[in-house]
Amino acid sequence: MTAHGLVGIADAGAFLARLTRLDPAAPVRLRATEGGRTALWARLPWEVLVTRLVAGAGPRDATVSAAELLSVLAAGGSDLPALRDEQWRWPLPPASAQTVESISGAELAGLAAAAASTLREVASGALGDRAIGQRAVRDALLDHVALTVTPSSGEPVEVSQRLVQAISRMGFLGPDGVDAPETRVRTAGKWVGLSAPYGVAWLQKVGKLTVMPIGVHPFG
C-alpha cells in the first residue's frame, strides 16, 4: 500500500470534512509540491475548483475518494485509499498567477452571507414546487458578479458569487468573528481566483461564442 504522506492532518481533515458535506462522492486530488507539502484539489458542485496546501510530502499526483481519505485520517491511518484517477476530469489553473487586488475578509463574508440567505430561501421552497424555477434562481445567484476589480492596467476582473461561496463554504476565510488577512483576487490565463487565508478557489472564465449568419460564415 502507498502511504498518503500527509502530516497536516487537522488541515487536511478540515478541507475534506467541508468538501464531503457539500459532495459526499467528491474525489480529491493530491499533488506533492515544493517544501514538503501537498496540494489538495477538489471540484465543488457549482463548478469551482478549490485547493489547500497541507504539511507532508504526499504522492506525486493521485486522486482518491475524499470520504475514504477522511476516514483514513480520522482513524489515524497512513495508507492512501484506492486510486480513482479516472474520476478527475478537470484542468487545473496555470501555476503562474498575478494578484490584481486585495479584498477584506469582512467584505467577502458579508457578500457570501447575503447570497447564502437568498439561496436558503430558494431551497426552502420560496418558489413553491417549481423545482426548475428554483434551480434557475440558484444558478442566477451563483453567476451574479459579486464584485469587480479594476487593475492599474488591463481589463476589469469580475469575481463571480460562485467564487465567494466557495471560499466561504470551505472555511477559507477563517473562523467567524476573527480578523483575517485580506483575500487576494488573482488571475491566471482564463482563470480568476480568490486566494484566502486558508485556501484558494478558482473559476475558469467561459469564452463567449460569436454567432454568425450562415450566409457569411467563413466556412460556408
Cell numbers linked to 49: 475548483
- What is the rounded distance in angstroms from the CA atom of residue 145 to the CA atom of residue 70? 33
pLDDT averaged over 10-residue windows placed end to end, the chain, 220 residues: 93 98 98 96 97 96 98 97 97 93 91 83 62 70 90 87 95 81 93 96 70 36
pLDDT of 46: 94
Cell numbers linked to 179: 480578523
pLDDT of 117: 83
pLDDT of 130: 57
Query: How is 64-120 classified by DSSP, letter by letter?
Result: EEHHHHHHHHHTT--BPPPP-GGG---PPPPS--EEEEEE-HHHHHHHHHHHHHHHH
Indicate the pTM of the whole model. 0.86
- What is the rounded distance in angstroms from the CA atom of residue 161 to the CA atom of residue 212? 31
Instruction: Give domain limits for the chain.
Output: 9-87, 98-204
